[in-house]
Each structure stands twice: as C-alpha cells, then as structure tokens.
Amino acid sequence: MILYNGGIKTTHRAQDCPNVSRHFYNAQSWTKQLIEIRIETRGQDITNLEELYIKK
C-alpha cells in the first residue's frame, strides 16, 4: 500500500480542490507508472526501483 499526501482538501472531491488537485493527479500518474512497470517488492523494499521513472 502506498499512501499519498498533498494538503488540506477544501472541496468534496480532491480533483476539484485548488489545494490538492495537482497532488491527486500526480498520485494517479505515479500509480499508473508503478502498475505499468510491474513493481516488485520484498517486504517493504522495492526490488526493481531502477526501472521506475517519473514522466514530467
């Protein structure tokens, strides 16, 4: 489980909030990338981290 944190939400939906919408969309993007690279873990460690990259 990966938890993301971005700020104080001031609207009902995170994607509509000016404080956290950027963080919401970043978290979605990062999660999709983790799924795409088929991230591998051993306990709390990510074992194939060298394959992870962040698209800007």
Residue 30 lies in a domain: yes
**Structural domain tally of the chain?**
1
Instruction: Tell me the residue range of the domain where 18 lies.
Output: 14-51
Residue 20 lies in a domain: yes
Residue 6 lies in a domain: no
Q: What is the pLDDT of residue 54?
A: 56
Give residue-wise pLDDT tens across range 1-56.
Answer: 777 888 899 999 999 999 999 999 999 998 888 788 788 888 888 887 776 665 55
Which residues partner with 42 through β-bridges?
Answer: 45
For residue 32, give the DSSP letter. Answer: H
Report the alpha-carbon distance of residue 45 to residue 53 in Å, rounded: 17
Residue 9 lies in a domain: no
- Cα 53 from chain centroid (whole Å): 12
Residue 43 lies in a domain: yes
Report the alpha-carbon distance of residue 56 to residue 5 in Å, rounded: 19
Q: What is the pLDDT of residue 8?
A: 92
Q: What is the pLDDT of residue 23?
A: 92
